[in-house]
A and B are shown apart, each in its own frame.
Chain A
């Protein structure tokens, strides 16, 4: 099993029980997409909020994803193969400041 640290920033914690930092366990060899599915199934407080996080089977546009501080676009996005102790950060950019 892999231990993955997940952070929800930019207000995204609102749909994950108002908790910013989580630690999850996933199967060895899981990829990013599988992690996302796990988060939706187990951490999302209300399934109705799923479309705030996921669109068309992937992370909704407007949510910045970092894998160990690196843009997920450089790491293969959904296909990225998770490694033990990875830090995944989800930041919503969708509102004003």
Chain B
């Protein structure tokens, strides 16, 4: 089920029997969307797609006018170091380069590239820092580069600040979540790795990590003063997200994650754009190969290793499964990919009936009461124990005093009730012991004070 190029719509052609249908000059090396492209024309084609989605004046070069303060536009690129975001980086770099050439050194916006260093979260044999240095070297950044672009690496453990209060979350058999109050034990700072190690399976781990990284990126954007965040997601990735979010019970996030729109976070406006939303994954791969961007790719190393280990579907995560589904259908049924993205963008967030209740874990506004919903469809009562033999067995059971789990300790020592959204409830339900999590978050001022992301590299 692993993604292979032979499944892709966009095909490499080894012999240039065909002439590029755009410039009608060079031999073509790529066949995409029923057209033959030479290298230059293909690159231009893909770059054009980004430009169409970032046509606003705020990204164009502004000449300072007398008496008018020039407002600098700071744009953050969330670089996951996967092929899509690397391709987006190349496209943006080239755009800015072109701007400086055309406009005597001026750029339309400052590009701040942010990388969340996930290598610290698992045994990895790659260094994100080294890869970023390689990338900078390749693009001549730091060597009298006309383009002004900065890089920042964020440690995921910055998700938990000193001002955050760490607590223990427990879920009882009636789907009610509580925080128990032994915070005094938590003097050592909680790391992301410790949080993730608590999750009961790989899918939950991935779900929580995805949410953590997203929140980190938003927070970084605010702290480094950017007004726009760019994500490198391809059309295929967006389609995959529609299904994946649905499967995880996070349908209310679909509209938000899929559309390019302005959002409010902590009182500030952030414009979120996916400039590659009209580009298929296979096209991304070919762009990347044409410019040898794969050498900077850390995702490939990480994911390929994971996938090879888990050839059996059973140990894949939900995301991996939906991803491999879309990768395998993109070849012959690319229209399904665009159809799914289209319907995803039509979805709205549900208005809350729960009067501003927020999930203690992912902070989304609850649209309904998941506890109530789950209780309605689940029965946890035993059938009556009647026969002699059964009654005897029950006695044997209670005498062996099987380990109490923390959940039953709860009955003795209830903490305070908290709210949790359906998806987080499902992700964490199977944890028998408490789930440690920053339950009280730092204020905006504290974030600005404490959130350290280090200098530009």
In the complex they form, whether A and B have CB atoms below 8 Å apart is answered with yes
A contact residues vs B (CB 8 Å cutoff): 55-58, 61
Q: Would you give 9 A-B contacts (Cβ < 8 Å), ordered by A?
A: A55-B313, A56-B311, A56-B312, A56-B313, A56-B314, A57-B312, A58-B312, A58-B314, A61-B313
With A56-B312, A61-B313 given, can you name 7 additional A-B contacts, CB distance below 8 Å? Answer: A55-B313, A56-B311, A56-B313, A56-B314, A57-B312, A58-B312, A58-B314
Q: How far is the CA of A58 from the CA of B313 in the complex (A)?
A: 10
Contact flags (1/0) for B296-323 with A, using CB distance below 8 Å? 0000000000000001111000000000
A21 to B311, CA, bound (A): 33
Residues of chain B within 8 A of A55, CB atoms compared:
313
- The docked-state distance in angstroms from the alpha carbon of A56 to that of B313 is 7
Q: How far is the CA of A68 from the CA of B312 in the complex (A)?
A: 27
Bound CA–CA A57/B314 (angstroms): 11
Chain A residues with CB under 8 Å of B312's CB are 56-58
Interface of B with A (CB < 8 Å)?
A: 311-314
| A60, closest chain B residue (CB) | B313
Give the nearest-CB partner of B1 in chain A: A56
A-B contact count, CB below 8 Å?
Answer: 9
Q: Which residues of A contact B313 (CB under 8 A)?
A: 55-56, 61
State the Cβ distance, B322 to closest chain A Cβ, in Å: 15
Point out the residues of chain A lying under 8 angstroms from B314, CB to CB: 56, 58
Closest to B311 in A: A56
Nearest CB in chain B: distance from A2 CB, A: 27
In the docked arrangement, what's the CA distance between A14 and B312, Å? Answer: 26
Interchain CA distance A56-B1 in the complex, whole Å:
10
- Residues on the B chain within 8 Å of A56, using CB: 311-314
Distance to closest chain B CB from A74 (angstroms): 17
B1 → chain A, closest Cβ, in Å?
9
List of B residues within 8 angstroms of A61 by Cβ: 313
> Which partner residue on chain A sits nearest B315 by CB separation?
A56
Q: Within the complex, what minimum Cβ distance (angstroms) separates A56 from chain B?
A: 4
The chain B residue with its CB closest to the CB of A57 is: B312
CA distance A57 to B310 in the complex (A): 12
Closest-CB distance, B6 to chain A (whole angstroms):
20
Residues of B contacting A58 in the complex (Cβ-Cβ under 8 angstroms):
312, 314
Distance (whole angstroms) from the CB of B75 to the closest CB of chain A:
43
Chain A: CB-nearest residue to B310: A56
- CA A56 – CA B312 in complex, angstroms? 5
- What residues of B have a CB within 8 angstroms of the CB of A57 in the complex? 312
CB distance from A6 to the nearest CB of B (A): 23
Q: How many Å from the CB of A82 to the closest CB on chain B?
A: 22
Assembled-state Cα–Cα distance A11/B178 (Å): 47
Contacts of B311 in A (CB 8 A): 56
Residue among A56, A57, A61 facing the most chain B CB atoms (10 A cut-off): A56
Q: Which 9 A-B pairs have the closest CB atoms?
A: A56-B312, A56-B313, A57-B312, A56-B311, A55-B313, A58-B312, A56-B314, A58-B314, A61-B313
CA distance A57 to B313 in the complex (A): 10
The smallest C-beta distance from B370 to any residue of chain A, in angstroms, reads 26
User: In angstroms, how far is the closest chain B Cβ from the Cβ of A54?
Assistant: 12
From A55, which residue of chain B is reached at the shortest CB distance?
B313
- For the complex formed, measure the closest distance between the CB of A93 and the CB atoms of chain B, giving whole angstroms: 17
**Considering the chains assembled together, what is the distance between the CA atoms of A61 and B321 in angstroms?**
14
Shortest CB-to-CB span from A37 to chain B, Å, is 16
A57 to B312, CA, bound (A): 8
In Å, the complex CA distance between A56 and B311 comes to: 8
Shortest distance between the CB of A79 and any CB in chain B (Å): 14
Cα–Cα, bound, A4→B313 (Å): 28
